Structure 1
């Protein structure tokens, strides 16, 4: 039986695309998705909402020079409608919004071309957009842009973000004042009189469902009657800001389904995209795929999640798509790839170079070491090394990049100073290598000699790269695991009054609400004291150094102690204290040794951070590494104490999380000093 071709129907106020599987209705020229019909359900979107509040792209913007992460929210509407492709295999339609000087100060100075695509035989539809800022236009800030779909609350009650992060969800009216009680910030409420008693006593907070970019490929909702799944699939992170560790919102009570492209969450103002007058810019966000599925020869609605994951793999393997009609979206044959091998040289760990297994290697716009964490204007391309350190970054868009990396188990960031330039060219071997590394990851180490083949197109072999992590001398002691998160430290049980049932006995126990309040319960009369070789960081190091509640709405800073013994002290040498932070929020870290009242302290970060991770249950935000010199004269034979003070105390939610702490002995005469 033949598959029905794609049809396009243009009416006065709406445009409809259908392919015999589903029908998508979009308002014209506003370009709001007003209806999605599938499996006998006339509209999967919330019919109780106004048409403009169902499926839309939006952004937040502010004028140049404005500080902070807020601004004017704007639902992106169009002024001009065009049919880009119309045949039985594909329909692609465009809604454009231009900008002129008459709109200065009234609308964001961007030209936006928002597109929707439907393919023959496809159980879903795609959307992408091209944002452009011309040189002569005024500057502005862009803190956020995304796609939002609001689904029918009477149909979609079960949400899935990951295999172990899925549940039946409360209703949106459960968050209303008569049914809930506000908590420390507006996003979190305690459900006291929910419509359904099973949710009574739970906390609802959209940030409890955030996810790292590296893990955020598919999420969505399930309707049980009839069995239908709605899934948002993002097959590539190239257009997302902040790299693989950047956290974004996913789905939450509404039922709301999000595709986040740019946001300041878990970073702060450093992530806000800022333009000056005279700065041209263009970027393609997407395409993302809205996938719909139903049960076939199966009576378990959770099978819809398993099927969505399979479809996600299909979409990832199909990236970059060959169907987008915009010339701003390059096809695979117009892209390049970069390969190589990354090893670590740390002579205090091994005399030989160490193979990196699972290291993160990526291309991002040229910048400083670690600048990819806050980069948002360009594109980023990341992969992970195999067991022997070999990597392949495929399908890279044209442009100039630096190659960056970080290695779990080692502190710091790697940056290769050479500019990697990808130029248009026909690649004869990229697809082969892409399939090879996916299918036979251990084989990639055998093909490092492919340099002359890759040069047939714009494919670059970086050869053997060696990362020398910061190191001066041998490790005297260490606390934690250098993995850029605080997840290995002690995360307390939540207050039974403030729980999310999903995270009871869950690996991500840090996602429970109010855990910062447990610090004062555990240390009512004094702060944390950690004794090296006696204490265990998994049980004795609280996951966040937060403030202590003193009186109602009054807080005080905290000072943690690390006690350790030295049998011998090199009085003329310099010891090195490495402190890696996983996040900070309006905090300061002061370091003192053996004198808690030393003024000034041996070291201070100054006030740092707007990550807001403690509030948003993220366990990590921006990674920060500090290397602190400690003269041997500060230390004593026998017991020593390092004092870590966080004095900022205007709220309960200030503080920082540690990733890893290490004390190094002075370098020996025959060792190479590395900063």
Structure 2
């Protein structure tokens, strides 16, 4: 393989520093450092950091990275790498910030930029952006700190992100032509010229490519929406030029809304990382006057590699992510209150056991278990102000949640095959080991038996028809081309992968939206209490602007709005937004022995955005 990949695995130690390193801004004005692996120097309105792998140039006026040079390659596009913030009164970038050198030791080059909030600036927080270079690291670490002193007024943060534009060799060719985020989306990007000549559509974020390798397809930044917890990195790479650029995550603790939350990642010519993950019904950060609050987002690594094809470079980036996770928390951050070192954090270990009386095969293998700090009555799906810690349980349900800040948390768990989740409040974590023992989750059901099920409870709609095509623009136009109105699904005969669509939206006919009823046909042969209550379980992967109507054998039994909604997941090309479920109770006498039908209507058809995505549907009998 190439030098970059080989050298990362055979990393040499730093050189010894032969002289005492001068500190601070005076040193930056006078001369570059003669250092043991890292050089830091001032250059007018720029500051330059350099090690054996990369040279990083930062614009002090705008707190942006204008250049990352790796050998002969420039890894930053026409626009600098920048942080930005939205929500409330408008967008904001941390320009005009106060610059300082945090460390210049020869082992670490660490600079920071602080933009204080003042009246007239949107989002009532201070923004501090940091960049850190260490010896022999092929890239630069960065992180942001938001600060809301108690003297600041009410405020909030919606979008909070970093954006890295990809370099082009010329108008016909990217330096890195391939996108790599997961196994479904790993294609070659449209060239800069292809994008410039693309045809606009009725949705401004979606364009139609008219030439090149993606001719006849749509292109959109939402094509690559990603559950960050499912990957350790994402980015771009080249088979032709043998270089790659990546976001590498050593931790997920600073992201909002838990492990299922997704947002933008890579896209044509760009890499995003969203900390406030505001798309798909993100919770946002809410702050009140008198509340003193700070949060650190990162550090994470802007990683550059070279020496292989796109897949080899992607493999290397994933190895780098695993390596960085093993280093977390980094000792060089230097703010023990905001970012406790390893010895001041706790590890929570235990074993989860799931017992489901109606589905005895369900186990805790692979369950998500986590710690969060939602407000009273809240849930981790809508929590942004604090940190969250999640891990997957092993085959026997055993888990270890490492590097947790001391405090009081809510312990939560969920797993494929189970509707709902387990929650235990008052979990106290101290520094060191915190054994939790065996935690037993006894799953409750509204009924005494399950008559039938459609799908698998996994908080996504990916097992249904078109569920592997959700990331293509205008996929909702295929519903009326490929499926009937009404949709008819027969229990025991129909296949969820072909006969139950991933989204129930509007049926398009002649360019207009029509209601699209879905009918479930089934037999009831078992004995049950006909004087009791039957229960239709509707678990949602996503709903937006939806009103549901349910009838049993032609008789109306419910008209309601799903408990969870928002996020525009269908138009934003997602396979889910926020999870929730509703249980519709109706008299069991509405059922008859033999053939029955339940009809589900998403009753709002003002546009294609109105939809539900089913995670799971079941009928439970008394």
What is residue 437 of structure 1 aligned with on the other side?
A: none
Counterpart in the other structure of 1:389: 397
Give me the whole-angstrom Cα distance separating, in 1, the residues matched to 2:435 and 2:401. 10
| Residue in structure 1 matching 2:344, options 318, 324, 334 | 334
How far apart are 1:118 and its partner, in Å?
A: 0.6
In the aligned structure 2, how far is the partner of 1:472 from the partner of 1:547? Answer: 32
Distance 1:164 1:584 in 2: 24
Find the counterpart in structure 2 of residue 267 from structure 1.
281
Of 576, 588, 594 in structure 1, the residue corresponding to residue 547 of structure 2 is 588
Question: Per the alignment, do residues 278 and 462 of structure 1 end up closer, same or farther by CA in structure 2, a change over 3 Å counting?
Answer: farther
Counterpart check, 1:322 vs 2:331: yes
Q: Map Cα deviations across residues 67-126 of structure 1 (whole Å, 9 max, x no partner).
A: xxxx51212224211111111111111111112xxx323332111221111111222110
**CA spacing shift, 1:172–1:145, aligned 2, 3 Å:** farther
Contact 2:47 2:59 in 1 (8 A): yes
Cα pair distance change 1:285/1:83, threshold 3 Å: same
Question: 2:112 — aligned with what?
Answer: 94
* Aligned match for 1:463, one of 438, 453, 465: 438
- 2:537 corresponds in structure 1 to 578
- Residue 292 of structure 2 is matched in structure 1 by 280
1:484-563 paired onto structure 2 within 5 Å: 484-491=459-466, 508-524=468-484, 526-552=485-511, 554-563=512-521
1:304 to 301, 313, 330: 313
- 1:140 CA drift (Å): 2.2
Structure 1 residue 45 corresponds to structure 2 residue 76: yes
What corresponds to 2:18 in structure 1? none
Contact 1:84 1:325 in 2 (8 A): no
Which of 131, 141, 158 is the equivalent residue of 1:143? Answer: 158
Q: 2:410 aligns with which of 390, 402, 411?
A: 402
Aligned to 1:57: 83
Q: CA deviation at 1:37?
A: 1.4
State the Cα deviation string for residues 195-217 of structure 1 (Å, max 9, x = none): xx333222111211111122232
1:164: how far off?
5.0
1:158 paired residue among 163, 167, 178: 178
Distance in 2 separating the partners of 1:606 and 1:308: 41
Q: Is contact 1:346–1:471 with CA below 8 Å preserved after alignment?
A: no
TM score, norm. by length of structure 2 = 0.89
What does the per-residue CA deviation read over 1:438-471, in whole Å, with 9 as the maximum and x for residues that have no partner?
A: xxxxxxxxxxxxxxxx3xxxx2424333242434
Counterpart in the other structure of 1:420: 427
Distance 2:284 2:140 in 1: 30
Q: Offset at 1:405?
A: 0.8
1:257 & 1:381 partners in 2: Cα distance? 25
- Are the counterparts in 2 of residues 586 and 607 from structure 1 also a CA contact under 8 Å? no
State whether residues 338 and 462 of structure 1, in contact with CA within 8 Å, keep that contact through their aligned partners in structure 2.
no
Deviation at 1:224, TM superposition (A): 5.5
**RMSD (Å) for aligned C-alpha atoms:** 2.2
- Once residues 616 and 343 of structure 2 are traced to their aligned partners in structure 1, the CA distance between those partners, rounded to angstroms, is 43
Q: For residue 151 of structure 1, report the CA deviation from its aligned partner.
A: 2.2
2:209 is aligned to: 191
CA gap 1:273/1:289 in 2 versus in 1, 3 angstroms: same
- 1:49-88 equivalences under 5 Å are 49=78, 53-62=79-88, 71-88=89-106
What is the TM-score normalised by the length of structure 1?
0.82
Distance 1:336 1:551, change over 3 A: same
Label 1:527 to 1:355 Cα distance change in 2 as closer, same or farther (>3 A). closer
1:301/1:481 CA distance change after superposition, 3 Å: closer
Tell me the secondary structure at the aligned position of residue 653 of structure 1. coil
1:475 aligns with 2:450: yes
Match among 224, 245, 248 for residue 209 of structure 1: 224
Q: Name the structure 2 match of 1:131.
A: 146
Cα separation, partners in 2 of 1:104 and 1:626, compared to 1, 3 Å: same
2:48 maps to 16
Rounded Cα–Cα distance in structure 2 between residues aligned with 1:290 and 1:79:
22
In structure 2, C-alpha distance between the alignment counterparts of 1:537 and 1:354, rounded to whole Å: 20
Answer whether contact 1:96 1:114 (CA < 8 A) is retained.
yes
2:302 maps to 290
- Residue by residue, what CA displacement relative to the aligned partner does 1:325-377 show, whole Å, maximum 9, x if unpaired? 23321111111121211112222334xx9641001101011446871112111
Q: 1:522 to 1:107 in 2, by over 3 A?
A: closer
Looking at structure 2, the residues matched to 562 and 227 of structure 1 have their Cα atoms a distance apart, in angstroms, of 52
Give the 3 Å change call, closer, same or farther, for CA 225–515 of structure 1 in structure 2: closer
User: How many Å separate the matches in 1 of 2:497 and 2:236?
Assistant: 35
Does the Cα contact within 8 Å between 2:350 and 2:437 map onto a contact in 1? yes
In 2, Cα distance between equivalents of 1:592 and 1:362: 38
Aligned to 1:257: 271
2:461 and 2:614 in contact (8 A); partners too: yes
Deviation of residue 421 (structure 1)?
Answer: 2.6
